[in-house]
Amino acid sequence: MMTFLNQLLIRTCCFDIRRIGLFTIMKHNIMKDVIQAFTLIGILTAAPLPAFALGDCTQWADEVTSAMSIGDSVLAETHTVYCEQYGSDAGAKTLADAKLLGWDSSYLKITRTWPINLILGLVGFDQAFEGGRFDARVIETEFEDSSVIGIQQTRRGASNISHEVVIIQIGWLTMDTLGLVKQPLNMYQANNRNGSESDIAGFYKNSAGNTLIDTLAPDINNDKVCNACRKYNVVSMGLYGDSFTQVSTRPFDIDTYVQQIVE
């Protein structure tokens, strides 16, 4: 069985080596031949890598870590999962250990609690068990219809963080997806570099009372310029009726960006 310290050493090793674009994991006696010698050579991409190098998890732990009410009869539970066992090798013993190692992921269980107890959906369920670090949570919105919610989905790689926001309308028996917001502005981008890339700027209302969220989209000419010369546009998305659509597009400048309050 691997000790908690050995697992920490494995993770530290893998993350340090991944940063240079090549990684080699060699067989070590102190790991009691758990890790077989192999070498993979390649260039890192933005895709998240598995959090553990020993293969597929054979025993998952699933804990309810928070819950919130949506309206009068809907409950959103955050389930945090982590791997307790990789074949014959121990994973994380507790959720606290998993969080320390960055092996924890979460998904949302949305349940209708009245007049019957009915699971409406599991948001981010498959992604949470894929490996890497994935989180799903309900976020504050400005929607007048309380049955429409926003769910932030965040994936954390070795050196990058990516966000999406799913717009969902909760019905009596089902949930319907109204829209998907890719690359919403994070607080670092929206507040002139004064904020965390882990937090998104989120929803806001403009002067006409419409609920908007701002996203980043690459300029169509980026393939013709160098990486450092690439430009992006702010695409404002809004909920109009039962559809979530693009409202406006304007150039993005991190030094001058403000939310489009005045329509």
pLDDT exceeds cutoff 50 at 176:
yes
- Among candidates 238, 250, 178, 252, which has minimal Cα distance to 209? 238
Task: Encode pLDDT of 179-215 as tens digits.
Answer: 999 999 999 999 999 999 999 999 999 998 889 999 9
- What span, in angstroms and rounded, lies between the C-alpha atoms of 115 and 70? 15
Q: What is the domain range of residue 69?
A: 4-182
- Among candidates 204, 193, 208, 207, which has minimal Cα distance to 236? 204
189 and 91, same structural domain? no
190 and 84, same structural domain? no
First to last CA, the chain: 62
193 and 177, same structural domain? no
To 5 degrees, how large is the angle CA 183–CA 47–CA 203?
15
- Among candidates 172, 62, 164, which has minimal Cα distance to 110? 172
117 and 219, same structural domain? no
Q: What SS3 state is found at 120?
A: strand
How confident is the model at residue 82, as a pLDDT? 96
pLDDT exceeds cutoff 90 at 27:
no
202 and 125, same structural domain? no
Q: What SS3 state is found at 28?
A: coil
101 and 84, same structural domain? yes
Task: Encode pLDDT of 77-118 as tens digits.
Answer: 999 999 999 888 889 999 999 999 888 999 999 999 999 999
Phi, psi of 27 (to 5 degrees): -70, 130
Phi, psi of 239 (to 5 degrees): -95, 115
The residue from 139, 163, 182 where one domain ends is: 182
Number of domains in the chain: 2
Query: For residues 215 and 181, is the Cβ–Cβ distance under 8 A?
Result: yes
- What span, in angstroms and rounded, lies between the C-alpha atoms of 190 and 200? 8
The residue from 138, 165, 182 where one domain ends is: 182
The residue from 182, 199, 218 where one domain ends is: 182
216 and 255, same structural domain? yes
